[in-house]
Structure 1
């Protein structure tokens, strides 16, 4: 009896391994949304890791997460490392390629709880009501990640985080758009006041001098 159970278990295990092995070797997760403002606003929020605290879906998972910023201040060569609780683990991101106001390519390296490397890209395109932002992650599956995908695939696991992050990016872009609009309005008011003051000065300078009454004999 035990031998039959062992054989049955081995057969089931081999079948499971076979099924896992047939799973796709790569994965891609993509989400798209439209955010307010011109492409340079959303691009700036992504291209500078110091701005990620405004919208990243993982920032709030560990308030005590330790972050490091090395390399370039922003753009190509900027590196963002993190170490936190079980929800965020440990890893780093490196900006590898940038097209100003159009795209950002990032190498994403997970260190803990498991080692994995993927490529993340952000694309920005002008839209009638703002900027269309597309966030994509692509990588390779190892045996363990293939096994995990039998229960929940990468799109399900990461897609919700992307949606949450893009919603927060929309809020951050709206705040920056409003800030810029207010600054522009204030600039125009200041320019109008300066023009009025200058016109008043020029009018006063052009006005004829008041006549001086002749002294009475």
Structure 2
């Protein structure tokens, strides 16, 4: 029995060693992105993603916990603006901070997860005109540590996060297209105000 136990133990050690090597040699960098086209002005679409206060209307995670606590800091829509959340097991806790903005082109966001595990990643949106519509790309990129590599060995990061991005962009498309029908463009509003009798 001792010999059998030794062989089993040795075999298990080899399996664990191979698994550790496989995990350690996996690529650490990852990138997930999805895009859609929205029948709304570029500046309107951009406003919906650069201002964290608008996220509740389209974020794929906003409805997962109706009791989620949220906090806004800084001047929303500007570099340094922040958004923090804390909720149930489905949404966890974390914060986002706008790291850079190119008006009507791109917004870069520093994303930090605090619960259920800690991790940091780069997140953001790029927008461009597509005829009379707006193409928007939602992207996330970062570096996995050993634990992250092990997690991705059994879970497809692109499929998991990508599905949330697809749902969020579908929600954003609906929200922005409805807003385009009801909200007057800034230039049009200025013209109306200028023409109004004083």
TM-score (norm 1): 0.83
- Corresponding position of 2:160: 157
Contact 2:123-2:141 within 8 A present in 1 as well? yes
- Corresponding position of 1:102: 105
Per the TM alignment, residue 153 of structure 1 is displaced from its structure 2 partner at its CA by 2.0
* Alignment partner of 1:120 is 2:123: yes
Mapped partners of 1:68, 1:167: distance in 2:
25
Deviates more, 1:121-130 or 1:44-53: 121-130
| Structure 2 residues without counterparts, runs of 5 or longer | none
Contact 2:122-2:141 within 8 A present in 1 as well? yes
Instruction: State the 4+ residue runs in structure 1 displaced beyond 6 angstroms.
Output: 182-194
SS at match of 1:105: strand
Mapped partners of 1:89, 1:77: distance in 2:
22
The 5 Å alignment of 1:87-98 reads 87-98=90-101
* Alignment partner of 1:140 is 2:143: yes
Mapped partners of 1:9, 1:82: distance in 2:
42
Per the TM alignment, residue 74 of structure 1 is displaced from its structure 2 partner at its CA by 2.4
Mapped partners of 2:189, 2:126: distance in 1:
32
TM-score (norm 2): 0.90
| Structure 1 residues without counterparts, runs of 5 or longer | 195-217
Report the aligned-residue RMSD. 2.4
Instruction: Go from structure 1 to structure 2 and tell me whether the alpha carbon gap of 1:191 and 1:177 turns closer, same or farther (over 3 Å shift).
Output: same
Q: How many residues align?
A: 194
- Corresponding position of 2:181: 178
- Corresponding position of 1:16: 19
Contact 2:39-2:132 within 8 A present in 1 as well? yes
- Corresponding position of 2:171: 168
Instruction: Go from structure 1 to structure 2 and tell me whether the alpha carbon gap of 1:190 and 1:148 turns closer, same or farther (over 3 Å shift).
Output: closer
* Alignment partner of 1:81 is 2:84: yes
Per the TM alignment, residue 85 of structure 1 is displaced from its structure 2 partner at its CA by 0.7
Mapped partners of 1:189, 1:100: distance in 2:
25
Contact 2:47-2:77 within 8 A present in 1 as well? no
Mapped partners of 2:58, 2:124: distance in 1:
16
Mapped partners of 1:79, 1:150: distance in 2:
32
Mapped partners of 2:157, 2:10: distance in 1:
33
